[in-house]
Amino acid sequence: MKLYDFKKLSQKLDFLNFPEVTESRFEIVRKDFSEEEKKGNITFKEDGIYLKINGVEHKGYMYIKVADVEQYDFPKFHISNCQTIIQQQNQNRFHGHYYWSNSNIVDVQQRGTSKIYKDVILSLCNYCRNAARITDYKNTQGFFDLLDIQDDEPINDAELDMFGYVKDWQEISKKFRIENEFTCNNCSIKIENKFDQRFIQVHHRNGNKLINKRENLQCLCTLCHSNIDERHTVNFQKKRSVHEIATFVEKYKDELINIGNPYVTKYLKK
Ligand SMILES: [Zn+2]
Ligand SMILES: [Zn+2]
Ligand SMILES: [Zn+2]
């Protein structure tokens, strides 16, 4: 076994010296594609375009931010180097025009004006869809819903271990949630719908996200998780988490009330 991975080590040191990314993993919404590609942070995979930030890969898609919406309607989003993308590259309309995102909604600007269409759901490009044989979603909302959220607690960059151990987190978290049958240890809600299983999250009891032994882990629904202590309440005030809790409560309101979730009544009064 290799004891040291110098590449990861240097990434970590780079980060300590030059903290260029300050967003938490949950808030990454938009990055200039060409810039990231130049830095070697982009990887094309079958199911999406991955952006690496401080050693952790995030799945996303690319889209054009400024478009002639009035004439051509909203642009499509892409998950591969498809025919359209290659054409745009050949016509020098790629660099500086495309953005990477992993959000369910984006903002698009009308070309030639300052008009902004906010919170738009884009449709998947047909070439990309056919190439990857995508059948389970057709727009950015669907793409987002299928992201097996990466994951659970927002992890600060400072908490990444020097050898990138947190990279295994997604897998650990998934296994643990399967073991626990996607059931919240606190209010005991069980989520059967596979698209909603992201609402069940894995919490570190002692707060140390590098200790991933079973005794230190706990399965919690996102509502219980956000209420477990003050630090979590603050962490969960990030835009994406707030949206996620709202979606969860909206959809599972009746069940949460029925099983006596300790937070749902107060939440609904807000
Ligand atoms: Zn495409
Ligand atoms: Zn719960
Ligand atoms: Zn937690």
pLDDT tens for each residue of 244-262: 899 899 999 999 999 999 9
Which one has a higher pLDDT value, 258 or 57? 258
What DSSP designation does 23 have? S
For residues 171-177, average pLDDT? 84
Question: Which bound ligand lies closest to the C-alpha atom of 249?
Answer: 2
Question: Which bound ligand lies closest to the C-alpha atom of 134?
Answer: 1
Residue recorded with tokens 């202590």: 229
Q: Element (H or E) spanning 32, and its range?
A: strand 31-32
- Checking if the pLDDT of 15 tops 80, the result is no
What is the distance in A from the centroid of ligand 3 to the CA of 232?
Answer: 6
Structure tokens at 114: 């300052």
- Checking if the pLDDT of 3 tops 60, the result is no
Question: Which bound ligand lies closest to the C-alpha atom of 206?
Answer: 3
Give the model's pLDDT for residue 21: 32
Give the model's pLDDT for residue 270: 79
Give the model's pLDDT for residue 9: 37
For residues 216-244, average pLDDT? 87
224 contact partners, CB below 8 Å, separation of at least 6: 184, 186, 187, 261, 262, 263
Residues with CB under 5 A from ligand 3 (ion): 153, 203
- Identify the weakest region by mean pLDDT among 21-25, 75-79, 209-213, 256-260: 21-25
Report angle CA 12, 17, 20 to the nearest 5 degrees. 85
What is the distance in A from the centroid of ligand 2 to the CA of 224?
Answer: 4
- Checking if the pLDDT of 162 tops 70, the result is no
Dump pLDDT digits (tens) for 58-113.
788 999 989 999 999 999 999 998 999 999 989 988 888 888 888 888 889 999 99
What is the distance in A from the centroid of ligand 2 to the CA of 235?
Answer: 17
Question: Which bound ligand lies closest to the C-alpha atom of 128?
Answer: 1
Q: How far apart are CA 150 and CA 198, in angstroms?
A: 9
Give the model's pLDDT for residue 83: 93
Which one has a higher pLDDT value, 158 or 166? 166
250 contact partners, CB below 8 Å, separation of at least 6: none
Residues with CB under 5 A from ligand 2 (ion): 184, 186-187, 221, 224
Q: How confident is the model at residue 168 (pLDDT cuts 50, 70, 90)?
A: low
Dump pLDDT digits (tens) for 134-159.
777 899 988 887 775 444 455 444 44
Question: Which bound ligand lies closest to the C-alpha atom of 221?
Answer: 2
